[in-house]
Structure 1
Amino acid sequence: MYRFAKAAVNISSQAVRQVRNGSTMPQDFHAKYGTGLMVSGGIFCTAVWAYVLTQTGITWNVSPVGRLQPKPWREAEEEE
């Protein structure tokens, strides 16, 4: 357990040093790529759903109200 704790502290201290020095990724990543990623993600999502809704032939759970009629009631036969 001691070795595991020592290794965990070592890894976390290395991560802290990288974050402080800014060596993990450029600081302007979101400014550089954020808008493009959001737009391309939105276009991709819209295209996939357009394909699913129009081309796959999935029968969705549409409400049967007004289209289904109840079966006529049958009286239970009384046995004597």
Structure 2
Amino acid sequence: MYRFAKAALNLTGRASRQVAVRHASSDLSPEFHAKYGTPLLIAGATFCTAVWGYVITSTGIVWNLSPVGKVQPKEWKE
């Protein structure tokens, strides 16, 4: 178990160093997010709203939100 934990920590340390080096040398991320971030967020929110609007109004799903008044006790049989 000790060898497994030591190997896992070694892998995570190595992976975190690789990610740090990758992010330090990348100059494309800030430009992409500055250029396309807001339109992508708006498009995603619009798509999500449209899909849920369709599901709620057109699919015919019965949304039984509250069972109050709908559940009746059965008659007692002797």
- Please tell me the TM-score bracket, short chain as reference: 0.5 to 0.7
Of the three residues 49, 57, 67, the one matched with 1:64 is 67
- Using structure 2 for the length normalisation, give the TM-score: 0.59
Partner of 1:4: none
1:20 to 6, 22, 25: 25
Shift of the 26–20 alpha-carbon distance from structure 1 to 2, 3 Å rule, reads same
Tell me the matched-pair count. 62
What is the percent sequence identity of the aligned residues? 59
Q: Aligned with 2:74: secondary structure?
A: coil
Deviation, 1:39, is 0.6
Higher CA-based Rg: 1
Deviating more after overlay: 54-63 vs 40-49: 54-63
Counterpart residue type for residue 56 of structure 1: T
Correspondence for 2:41: 38
Gaps in structure 1 of 5+ consecutive residues: 1-12, 76-80
Runs of 4+ in 1 over 6 A off after TM superposition: none
* Greater fraction of residues in helix: 2
Aligned CA distance change for structure 1 residues 46 and 66 (closer, same or farther; 3 Å): same
Q: Which runs of 5+ in 2 are unaligned?
A: 1-17
Structure 1 length as normaliser, TM-score?
Answer: 0.58
